[in-house]
């Protein structure tokens, strides 16, 4: 198509031919991107996203994989102008991170990140294995929208157990010297949330309550079976066979999304935060799934 457009003014051998084709392809990609962004008109697509990453089985290997994913999402946030803050984190016993919760704000934060929900699999030569053997690691990424108000969510203070403790992550002398970190357990559901990176116990409690309210709202929506896939997708074990995306660094280089089929051999670019192609591939996939499930499409 692009060849036909540029042929009128340029021949294939002309020095400006490749530049013209590249410009047209970039324009077409931008138009496609804007069209996909227009699809993000769901109830929560414009909300900030609360992203929790948990290490799977595997000890230090999976803890390091969590750190790699955190770096990837922070780089994406920087590229796409989505402010992010760390709400809580639990360091690994030797290295890396067992779990971490981040909040992303900015344009369509939840709408873009919700496709990241699921199990992510890494295959590589372990930097922690003196025998240089290949290891497979797993981490789960949980994505929910931050809900400011939901009249269906009623939190009884008597249902809460609130613990305070000293933050264990790098938060400066103030954080480490005072018991400003807050952990809230919602006894009826067993949901546990925490915040440790604000400067006072009061603000940590306030942020933790917002996260709890968002998780309870998500739980209510999960109970509505027809909307389960729209919000979070199925909850699966952090193990083999349940991954949504594989990152293979050895014996070949490939990142592949197993839902959409989108893949790339430029693994370092992906790990450096260039994940929007995967996000938009998921939006196309989701749109196709919705069209297929629409009335009158079953037998088409």
Class of domain 157-218: alpha beta
Structure tokens at 5: 């457009």
> Is residue 270 within 8 Å of 255, Cβ to Cβ?
yes
Report how far Cα 220 is from the mean position of its chain's Cα atoms.
Answer: 21
Highest mean pLDDT among 31-35, 134-138, 224-228, 290-294: 134-138
Cα–Cα distance measured from residue 233 to residue 143, given in angstroms and rounded to the nearest whole number: 10
Between residues 20 and 76, which one has the greater pLDDT? 76
User: Which helix H or strand E contains 178, and what residues bound it?
Assistant: none
Q: In the prediction, which pLDDT does 296 show?
A: 60
> Is residue 264 within 8 Å of 271, Cβ to Cβ?
no
Cα–Cα distance measured from residue 103 to residue 242, given in angstroms and rounded to the nearest whole number: 25
Q: In the prediction, which pLDDT does 104 show?
A: 98
Read off the pLDDT of residues 231-261 as tens digits, 9 standing for 90 and up. Answer: 545 555 665 567 999 999 999 999 999 999 9
Fold matches, 49-148+225-293 and 157-218: no
> Is residue 112 within 8 Å of 279, Cβ to Cβ?
yes
Q: In the prediction, which pLDDT does 22 show?
A: 67
pTM attached to this predicted model = 0.79
Q: In the prediction, which pLDDT does 2 show?
A: 46
Architecture (CATH level 2) of domain 49-148+225-293: 2-Layer Sandwich (3.30)
User: Which helix H or strand E contains 197, and what residues bound it?
Assistant: none
Say how many C-beta atoms besides its own lie within 10 A of residue 32's C-beta: 12
Read off the pLDDT of residues 201-221 as tens digits, 9 standing for 90 and up. Answer: 999 999 999 999 999 998 888
Q: In the prediction, which pLDDT does 265 show?
A: 97
SS3 string of 52-108?
EEEECCCCHHHHHHHHHHHHHHHHHHHHHCCCEEEEEEEECCCCCEEEEEEEECCCC
Q: In the prediction, which pLDDT does 175 show?
A: 42
Phi, psi for residue 143 in degrees, rounded to 5: -125, 120
> Residue 300: pLDDT above 80?
no
> Residue 138: pLDDT above 60?
yes
Task: List the domain boundaries for the chain.
Answer: 2-38, 49-148+225-293, 157-218
Say how many C-beta atoms besides its own lie within 10 A of residue 220's C-beta: 15
Q: In the prediction, which pLDDT does 220 show?
A: 86
């Amino acid at each position: 198509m692009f060849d036909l457009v540029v042929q009128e003014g340029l021949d294939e051998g002309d020095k400006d031919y490749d530049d013209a084709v590249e410009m047209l392809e970039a324009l077409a990609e931008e138009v496609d991107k804007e069209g996909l962004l227009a699809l993000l008109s769901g109830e929560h697509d414009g909300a900030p996203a609360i992203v929790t990453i948990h290490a799977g089985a595997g000890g230090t290997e999976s803890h390091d994989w969590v750190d790699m994913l955190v770096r990837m999402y922070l780089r994406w946030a920087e590229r796409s102008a989505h402010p992010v803050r760390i709400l809580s984190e639990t360091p690994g016993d030797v290295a890396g991170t067992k779990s971490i919760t981040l909040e992303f704000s900015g344009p369509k934060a939840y709408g873009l990140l919700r496709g990241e929900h699921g199990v992510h699999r890494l295959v590589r030569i372990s930097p922690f294995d003196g025998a240089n053997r290949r290891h497979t690691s797993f981490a789960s990424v949980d994505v929910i929208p931050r809900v400011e108000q939901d009249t269906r969510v009623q939190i009884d203070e008597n249902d809460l157990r609130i613990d305070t403790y000293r933050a264990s992550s790098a938060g400066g002398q103030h954080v480490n010297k005072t018991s400003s970190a807050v952990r809230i357990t919602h006894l009826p559901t067993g949901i546990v949330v925490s915040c440790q990176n604000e400067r006072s116990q009061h603000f940590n409690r306030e942020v933790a309550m917002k996260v709890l309210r968002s998780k309870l709202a998500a739980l209510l929506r999960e109970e509505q079976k027809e909307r389960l896939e729209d919000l979070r997708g199925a909850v699966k074990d952090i193990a083999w066979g349940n991954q949504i995306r594989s990152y293979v660094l050895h014996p070949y280089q490939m990142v592949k999304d197993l839902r959409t089929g989108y893949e790339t051999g430029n693994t370092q670019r992906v790990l450096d935060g260039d994940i929007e192609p995967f996000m938009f591939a998921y939006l196309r996939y989701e749109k196709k799934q919705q069209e297929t499930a629409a009335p009158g499409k079953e037998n088409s």
